[in-house]
Amino acid sequence: MEAKKEKLSMSIHTASSVKYRLVRRTAAACIMLALVLWTIWPWLPSQRSNRPRTIVLYGFSILEPVITRGIFPAFQKKWMAETGQSVELISSFGGSGTVTNQLIMGVPAEIAILSTELDAQRLKKAGVIRTETWKELPHKGVINRTPFIIQVRPGNPKKIHDFSGLIQPGVRIVHTDPLTSGAANWAIVAEYGAAVRQPGSGPDAGRSMLRGIWRNVVVQAGSGRAARTQFDSGFGDALITYEQDAIWSLSRGSSRLEIVYPRSTILSEHTVVVIDSHVSGKEEKLIKAFVDFLWSEEAQRIFVESGFRSVDERLNSSNPRFGHIHDPFFIDDFGGWQKAKLSIIDDIWRNRVLKELKP
């Protein structure tokens, strides 16, 4: 009797569980199907009809927000108004050196915005572009500027007021890596230049400044943005970076870090390169329109709003966050990048300072 009962209840259980299983299986299959449908949605025939024209842009790291959220939407609107066509931006951002390496490897970029002219010259050397195309653009291809500054922890606990403050023992500096980052190259010239331009300083001042700073470098990040992320996450006492980068991060309210303006520092200049071999004939007009737009007052104002200093000095007063620099200088003061790279980066920094530091 007992056994019979058990058997009965078992069979009921089996019947209901079969039904239940069927329901569950159907539900599972439905979820799968929905997921698949969602995934392939944009590629379904009905969705593909009017694919917009595209611009493929590679830029160095700190440009990302201003290009994707400021400049490009403005251009999109303008282009739509003028031609009735929608245009889409395909973009990638990374350390300037990384981007340049990618370009040399052959990524299909139509426009590149690089941190230094140095990288533009590498492109020419590698044959990505045949002539120095950027020199034919307004301002020799320089799209905007930003001075190199020092960012410190709230309250400036290490009492850093100039580059010279960085050489004191115990200061931990977050720096970028000159191998992949344009910012690093700018920073080294800034550090060197600030020292040699100091009134009454000798010819060795630059070298000893670099030695003092690099003795304290604890992190070499791959790009300006990566260095910023490291510093923001609490690492180090000082970060040498673009003013724009500091302003941008302050404006997002995510940090209460302080900006220290050196008495003398370099204004980095960022170069636009059109990779003409990647621009097909029918896109030429679109690319030219976009490049021209970069120097329009509208675009330059957007740059200023997001912390870059415009090549048009008149616009720069509109951003109250820009600090005063007593003695700004430019790469041309050192004879341009080609010369500065050899004499400052390679000869002094790499061949002497780094070797002196490494036991």
Partner 1 sequence: MNQDKVFNRKISSMLPAGFLVLVLLPLLLLPLASVFIYALRGGLGNFGASLITADVLFALRFSLIIAFATAVINALLGTYAAYVLSKTRFPGREQLGIVLNLPVAIPNVVVGTSLLLLWGPIGLFGQMLEPLGIQPMFTPAAVLLAHIFVTFPYMLGTVKPVLDDLETTYEEAAYTMGASRWQTFLHIVFPALKGGLLTGSLLTFAHSLGEFGATVMVSGNLRLRTQTAPLYIFSQFESGNIQAANSVAAVLAILSFILFSLILFLAARTGKKGAQRGK
Count of Cβ atoms closer than 10 Å to residue 349 Cβ: 23
Q: Which CB atom, from 35 or from 218, has the smaller least distance to partner 1?
A: 35
**Tokens representing residue 15 in the block:** 């019947």
Closest CA to 308 of 63, 122, 101, 78: 63
Nearer to partner 1, 102 or 156 (CB): 102
Q: How far is the CB of 51 from partner 1 (least distance, A)?
A: 11
Nearest distance in Å: CB 95, partner 1: 9
Q: Closest CB to partner 1 among 19 and 25?
A: 25
Judged by beta carbon, residue 11 or residue 351, the one nearer partner 1 is 11
**SS3 category, 148:** strand
Residue with smaller CB distance to partner 1, 121 or 223? 223
In this structure, is the dihedral angle defined by the CA atoms of residues 67, 140, 346 and 265, taken in order, positive or negative? negative
In whole angstroms, how close is the CB of 301 to partner 1 at the nearest point? 23
CB neighbour list of residue 111: distance below 8 Å, 6 or more residues apart: 55, 56, 57, 58, 272, 273, 274, 275, 287, 290, 291
Pairwise CA distance, residues 120 & 104, whole Å? 11
Q: Minimum CB separation from partner 1 for residue 42, in Å?
A: 7
Contact 80, 86 (CB under 8 A): yes
Closest distance of CB 58 from partner 1, Å: 8
Strand, coil or helix: 69: helix
Nearer to partner 1, 65 or 336 (CB): 65
Between 31 and 354, whose beta carbon lies closer to partner 1? 31
Q: Residue 277 corresponds to which tokens in the numbers above?
A: 């071999």
Note the residues at the interface with partner 1 (CB under 8 A): 24-25, 28-29, 31-32, 35, 38-42, 56, 61, 64-65, 68, 88-94, 102, 104-108, 223, 225-226, 228-229, 232, 249, 254
Output the smallest distance, CB 86 to partner 1, in A: 13
Q: How far apart are CA 173 and CA 120, in angstroms?
A: 28
Whichever of 255 and 319 has its CB closer to partner 1, that residue is: 255
In the DSSP assignment, the letter for residue 256 is -
Cα Rg, the chain, nearest whole Å:
27
CB of 28 to partner 1, least distance (A): 5
Long-range contacts of 332-340 (CB under 8 A, 24+ apart): 333/193, 334/189, 334/193, 336/117, 337/116, 337/117, 337/118, 337/121, 338/118, 338/121, 340/189
* Shortest separation between residue 114's beta carbon and partner 1, angstroms: 16
